[in-house]
Amino acid sequence: MTPDELQHLIEDATFDHAMGEEETALAKLARATAAVPDSFEAWHAAAEINFSLRRFDAALVAADKAHALRPGDLFINTSLSRIWMEKGDKARAEHFGAQAKIQTWKEQLRNPGDA
């Protein structure tokens, strides 16, 4: 799968999700992650869609895959915080929430005019 094909597949899945076609979206993301297992964007999208469906175990699996690819990403740390909170593990939720906050501070230090 080319990078453009992957991007289109993820965008199509995101659109499907927005239109209420969650299973179609997840099937497309499963194809994306099977073809390109190191696609952070596909794993993160799968985590978010599963989270919205309250499938927290599946969301966690996908989020963990995305986190392994980009542990310093603000958004995946936020996603993991939300997932762990829903799963009832406040300590892990707070850990990932703190990681997200640290990433925000780092970004503010890199780009002080944007703050």
101 vs 85, residue with greater confidence: 85
The whole-number pLDDT of residue 105 equals 82
pLDDT in tens, 9-61: 999 999 999 999 999 999 999 999 999 999 999 999 999 999 999 999 999 99
CATH number at residue 80: 1.25.40.10
Asked if 17 and 53 touch (Cβ cutoff 8 Å), the reply is no
Reported pTM:
0.87
Domain with 67, as residue range(s), is 3-114
Kindly give the residue spans of alpha helices, DSSP state H, lying in 19-55.
22-35, 40-52
CA 76, CA 21: separation in Å to the nearest integer? 23
pLDDT over 60 at 88, yes or no: yes
The whole-number pLDDT of residue 15 equals 97
For the chain, the domain total comes to 1
What is 86-100 written as a DSSP string?
HTT-HHHHHHHHHHH
Asked if 100 and 78 touch (Cβ cutoff 8 Å), the reply is yes
pLDDT in tens, 53-73: 999 999 999 999 999 999 989
pLDDT over 80 at 106, yes or no: no
